[in-house]
Structure 1
Amino acid sequence: MANCLLCHSYYDEINSWSTLFSLSEPDPVCPTCEGKFESIDGEICTICGRPFSKISTEYREGDLCYDCVRWQNDNRWRDVLQKNRSVFLYNDFGKEIISLYKFRGDYIVSNAFRTSLKHTFRTYYNSSYIIVPIPLSSERLYERGFNQALVLAQLLGKPIHEILSRNHLEKQSKKSRQERMETENVFQIEDRVSVKEKSIILVDDIYTTGLTLRHAAEVLLREGAKSVSALTLMRG
């Protein structure tokens, strides 16, 4: 018997997907909670990873969703982010768990994602990529006590390069899409480790508009990075 990390109920590990199909230590999540996460599969936007099954056909143009078409039509942002791949959709259960993890500071919840995050990384990327977690501003780090993106990156069990820093910025939720796109870049290169001609993966918890990831990618490309992609836990 094991204790579920998310709902705290006891369950028989032999019935867990992680136990049956993973050679590594199983994630401490019961089958009920595991079933509430909504994995991303089927046809997806080749840039942001949004599943086409979740949007109307009018919001699709070829292999891209309408949001990514707009990013690509903007001279500043065209091809800045090569692709994003997410593990789960940001459904109601995902929002509940992210709130528990990110805003209520339950650091240990991250262990529930180890196997699925590693699997997504192996599916779309390889060890030649440099892994860079999205940083928090010093103010946000003080509020939360830890950087959720860094913790997720550590689950991959690979070298991590904390080469970015971030200025504090007021919340963007009340701004229009255009206003957010024109916002000044909040990221800087903190460590002058060379990224020239390197392929980089940014790690973060949620892909929503994609602006944060593109801001970070923009800075890295200016430093000579070959390409910048992203690995995120949830796709909003």
Structure 2
Amino acid sequence: MNCLLCEQPKQSSPSWQSLIAIEKSTLICEDCSNQFKRVDIIEVGDNIDSITSIFTYNEAMRNYLHQYKFLQDIALAGVFSNELKQALSKKKAIIVPIPMHPTKKIERTFAQVDELLKAADVSFEDLLIKTNQEVMGEKTREERLSMSRLFQIKPQVEIESTTYILVDDIYTTGTTMQHAALTLKEAGAKTVHAVTLIRAASEQ
């Protein structure tokens, strides 16, 4: 089988876990895998009880995101499934993906966060609707602070007084996560955590 990123044949020795089918096979080669850098940042936000990010945003990750999201290579959804599943298994909670705006979803043809969760075999609930298409990374801090709400709860959805985990592919300014967490908490959520695959440096 070829690597999904460099398309070169994968060369790996089978482990005892893979031989008894408890280890999910990797989709990329060792050389490509070694280009991704773990960061494992855990921090807090104004409306979020904790934010966990798994990888840093380097050139390898930029290329991965471009191929996955913009070239619509949905097969890449499973590249980091083991890492994502491990991060989400640490807390008992309702998993909620950050949704795309409906217009953007039509352009992309698939919801990238939903596909990441499906590939990781993680159950989730679509509870939020995104109401704004603006890109947070293109705004100043003052513009982000003055924005109207980015999300609303889906009609006929009742938010329980329990723990939720928001999931997104990349954390840049934090505005998206803060808005989503506030929407859940105002609707009745007791605790809101967040997990992102990538943590990108942001300008203040």
Query: TM-score, normalising length from structure 2?
Result: 0.88
Matched, 1:140 2:104: yes
SS of alignment partner, residue 140 of structure 1:
helix
Asked if 2 retains the 8 angstrom alpha-carbon contact of 1:13 and 1:19, the reply is no
- SS of the aligned residue for 2:80 comes to helix
Of the three residues 155, 166, 170, the one matched with 2:134 is: 170
The size of the alignment, in residue pairs, is 198
Q: Match of 1:4?
A: 3
- What's the secondary structure of 1:3's corresponding residue? coil
From 173, 181, 186, the counterpart of 1:209: 173
Structure 1: 5+ residue runs without aligned partners? 48-67, 69-77
Q: Give the alignment of 1:1-236 within 5 angstroms.
A: 2-14=1-13, 23-41=22-40, 44-47=41-44, 78=46, 80-122=47-89, 125-126=90-91, 128-236=92-200
Say which structure, 1 or 2, has more relative contact order (CA 8 Å, 6+ apart).
2
TM superposition shift of 1:3: 1.1
Q: Deviations over 1:27-68 (max 9, x none)?
A: 211000010000125xx4532xxxxxxxxxxxxxxxxxxxx6
Residues 1:189 and 1:30: Cα distance change in structure 2 (over 3 Å): same
Deviation at 1:191, TM superposition (A): 4.5
Please report how far the alpha carbon of residue 226 of structure 1 lies from its aligned counterpart in structure 2 after TM superposition: 0.7
| Structure 2 unmatched runs, 5+ | none
The runs of at least 4 consecutive aligned structure 1 residues that moved more than 4 Å come to none
Deviations 1:114-140 (A, max 9, x none): 112112223xx23x2001111111110
Q: Bigger shift: 4-13 or 198-207?
A: 4-13
Task: Give the deviation of 1:15 after TM superposition.
Answer: 7.0
RMSD: 2.1
